[in-house]
Amino acid sequence: MKYSSLATPSILVDVDRVELNCERMLSRARSLGVRLRPHMKTHKCIEIGRLQVGAESGPITVSTLAEARHFANHGFSDIVLAVPIAPCRVAEALDLGVALLVDSPEAVAAVESEVGAGGVDVWLKVDCGYGRAGVVPGTPGAVSMARQLHDSARLRFRGVLTHGGHSYDCVGVEQIRAVAAQERDVVVGFAEALRGLGMAVDEVSVGSTPTMMHVDHLEGVTEIRPGNYALFDGFQAAIGSCHRDDVAVSVLTSVIGAYADRLILDVGALALSKDPGPTHVDPDCGFGRLLDDSGEAISDLRLTGLSQEHGKAYGTGASRFRVGDKLRVEPNHSCLTMACFSDVHAIRGDDVVGVFEPVRGWAGG
């Protein structure tokens, strides 16, 4: 089947590009001397996960207990749930045997109250400057949390973990590389400080896709956890994390209304999400880059409006298209866009070569 014959909206993943992206990150991890623990949250598909880990069965990173169970049921092992565990989900997580992430005394207490004699691996989340979650190195609370984990009779303190998410605020390679250095240096320095206080810190985990694409060295780091790189997206290309030709995901859409100044497409917020995209790079970027049915960029149309099931594309190029024509949208954020679909069409060239079924929801059971 040719992908152009699919009903719309449909999500397309270019397997040739995914394979190249995954091979490149595996090679990069080897050259940097670190373990690759790829994140599965972007796609949540077994087939793409296998490409990310190569010939291995792990280690991997997940963001939900549903992902953890799904990948474990398909043979993946050494799984880290890289979101601070909610106390109400501790029992489920322990049942799955995943390593947990904590950054609060309440979460530690919840885990200790549930864990059995066998114990559980626990990572301490560290804020390296992103300002989202994690203990702040250099503060008494950060050291106290680490000490609590290290000294616990029921928890195995695996190490420290951080995420340089503020790399998404960057423009260009040099800015990304500066955040990558901060991400590395903050968490490595914290690990060294803890060791100086007599605490064993075996693992140091870092990684966003932008920082891992451009970091110059990872001395003191043991593993990296990028995930978006498997597919990339319009945002990654705009900030300089990748090239446009690396983006492996798009949404096939039909023109359902053609007017002098605009096209109406059958792709709305429930197919693309309403991620505003890299507005710090291009304030008028819209909700995704429009491509023709062969994948070439359409420069004279902008997808600037989304409702639930409609997309509105304005520009002088509207007059070239008719109702029934098919276009593609390179999404701003592949993670959110992939989450809008229950079936993912794998393509090579013009051909559909398979259908992937991502796991959905949050439950571990």
Q: pLDDT per residue over 86-129, tens digit each? A: 999 999 999 999 999 999 999 999 999 999 878 999 999 999 99
Q: pLDDT-based confidence at 364, cuts 50/70/90?
A: low
- Can you tell me the mean pLDDT for 311-333? 97
φ/ψ of residue 32, rounded to 5: -85, -5
Instruction: State the pLDDT at residue 116.
Output: 84
- pTM for the structure as a whole: 0.96
Nearest to 356 by CA among 259, 249, 273, 204: 249
Distance separating alpha carbons of residues 9 and 245, to the nearest angstrom: 22
**Residue 365 pLDDT > 70:** no
- Can you tell me the mean pLDDT for 190-199? 98
Q: Which amino acid is at 321?
A: F
Q: Which CATH homologous superfamily contains domain 16-230?
A: Alanine racemase (3.20.20.10)
> Which DSSP letter does residue 206 get?
E
Instruction: Print burial letters for 118-129: b (CB count within 10 Å at least 16), e (below 16).
Output: eebbbbbbbbbe
Q: Which amino acid is at 320?
A: R
Q: pLDDT-based confidence at 294, cuts 50/70/90?
A: confident
Reported as a single tens digit per residue, the pLDDT across 267-286 is 999 999 999 999 999 999 99
- Can you tell me the mean pLDDT for 2-6? 97
- Can you tell me the mean pLDDT for 21-34? 98
Q: Long-range contacts: 28-34, Cβ < 8 Å, 24+?
A: 28/212, 28/213, 29/224, 32/215, 32/217, 32/218, 32/221, 32/224, 33/218, 34/218, 34/221, 34/222, 34/223, 34/224
Same fold? 3-11+242-356, 16-230: no
Neighbours of 361 (CB within 10 A): 10
The pLDDT > 90 percentage for the chain reads 97
Distance separating alpha carbons of residues 275 and 332, to the nearest angstrom: 7
CATH fold for the domain made of 3-11+242-356 = Lyase, Ornithine Decarboxylase; Chain A, domain 1 (2.40.37)
Domain spans of the chain? 3-11+242-356, 16-230
Reported as a single tens digit per residue, the pLDDT across 347-361 is 999 999 999 999 999
Q: Give the H/E segment covering residue 49.
A: helix 46-53
Reported as a single tens digit per residue, the pLDDT across 233-262 is 999 999 999 999 999 999 999 999 999 999
**Residue 323 pLDDT > 90:** yes
Instruction: State the pLDDT at residue 4.
Output: 96
Distance separating alpha carbons of residues 48 and 45, to the nearest angstrom: 6
Nearest to 293 by CA among 315, 324, 260: 324
- Cβ contact 365:89 at 8 Å: no
